[in-house]
Amino acid sequence: MASSGSTCGIDLPLAGPVAHWHYRGHGRSAAPADPDRIQVVDFAADLDAVRRHLGDPSPVVLIGHSFGVQVVLEAYRRRPEGIGGLVLCCGAPGKVTETFKGTNVLAQVLPKLIAWVGSHPDVVRALWSRMPPDLSVKLAYLMREVDVENMRPEDLKPYVEHIASIDPGFFFRALQAAGEHSAEDLLPKIAVPVLVVAAERDTFTPPDLARRMAEAIPNGELLVLQNGSHAALIEQPDVVRVKIAQFIRERVMAAPRALREHG
């Protein structure tokens, strides 16, 4: 049993190994040799390579958070065989820059921002990487971008540090690619159980997107985390852990063998 996607921040008591990989250009993974290979389908191809490297375990459950939702959906489109279920957390099937904060402002300003970053790389990199992580965490709390009642600063800090380590030009271009991608057409064709996890106060991918996604998937199931933000997985880890384990036990492992093996 393998899982993938961006950082979940929770330990899952599953019946098999869990593989958590670093996207190209993130963490310990270098940026792609071809700087244009940052489309969602490229990340999905990496996920498929991870599955094959692990010996193609079956059934596999793919878990994605935020951008990872789009990656997991494209990975399913690419090769559904052996996939027993999907867990899609705090994300959308695509066009994420058109719904950020409930508006399409990000989609409009992103091309200009990318151009400016490209013409001032040294300045941007210096500003991007020198923001003290503790200050970034305090700002997130002050602006209430996280659930201040449940989020522990020490859990958020590693995420902030990770973002600061990514090349800003790469980050914004990958974000633009995510905003241009959509797997909405795939949703009605998904033949395996899917757990969609949404957060009530998620301003990055508003919960209405998750609700519509769950409704469009024939075997979709929705969990809404009350008062949760985009970082709800580390705000309410126990709730998420129990629900995912239950989903895998009752809906994936209990599914007919033919469905689990062939999708």
pLDDT tens profile 128-152: 877 888 888 998 888 888 999 999 9
Helix H, strand E, coil C: the string for 169-198 is HHHHHHHHHHHHCECHHHHHHCCCCEEEEE
pLDDT of residue 157: 92
Structure tokens at 77: 């489109």
Residue whose token pair is 């409704």:
215
Q: Say what the alpha-carbon torsion angle 50, 218, 180, 139 is, to the nearest 10 degrees.
A: -80
Instruction: Report the pLDDT value the prediction gives residue 152, as an integer from 0 to 100.
Output: 92
pLDDT the model gives residue 257:
59
Per-residue model confidence (pLDDT) at position 128: 82
**257/152: higher pLDDT:** 152
13 located within any domain: no
Domain residues for the domain of 205 are: 40-262
The alpha helices in 20-66, defined as continuous H runs, are 40-53
Q: What is the mean pLDDT of residues 203-222?
A: 96
Q: What's the pLDDT score for residue 7?
A: 39
Q: Establish if 172 belongs to a structural domain.
A: yes
198 part of a folded domain = yes
- Whether 4 is in a domain gets the answer no
Structure tokens at 142: 């002050």
CATH of the domain at 117: 3.40.50.1820
**Does any domain span residue 142?**
yes
Does the pTM exceed 0.85?
yes
Please tell me the distance from the alpha carbon of residue 106 to that of residue 167, in angstroms, as a whole number: 19
Question: Is residue 14 in some structural domain?
Answer: no
CB burial of 206-230 (b: ≥16 within 10 Å; e: otherwise) equals bbebbeebbebbebbebbbbeebbb
Q: How many domains does the chain have?
A: 1
Q: Is residue 51 part of a domain?
A: yes
The least confident of 14-28, 31-45, 229-243 is 14-28
Looking at residue 10, its pLDDT comes to 52
Annotate 198-228 with DSSP letters as a single string: EETT-SSS-HHHHHHHHHHSTTEEEEEETT-
pLDDT band at 31 (very low <50, low <70, confident <90, very high): confident
Mean pLDDT within 146-166: 90
Q: Is the pLDDT of residue 222 over 60?
A: yes
* Of 11-20, 220-229, 236-245, the least confident: 11-20
Residue 7 within a domain: no
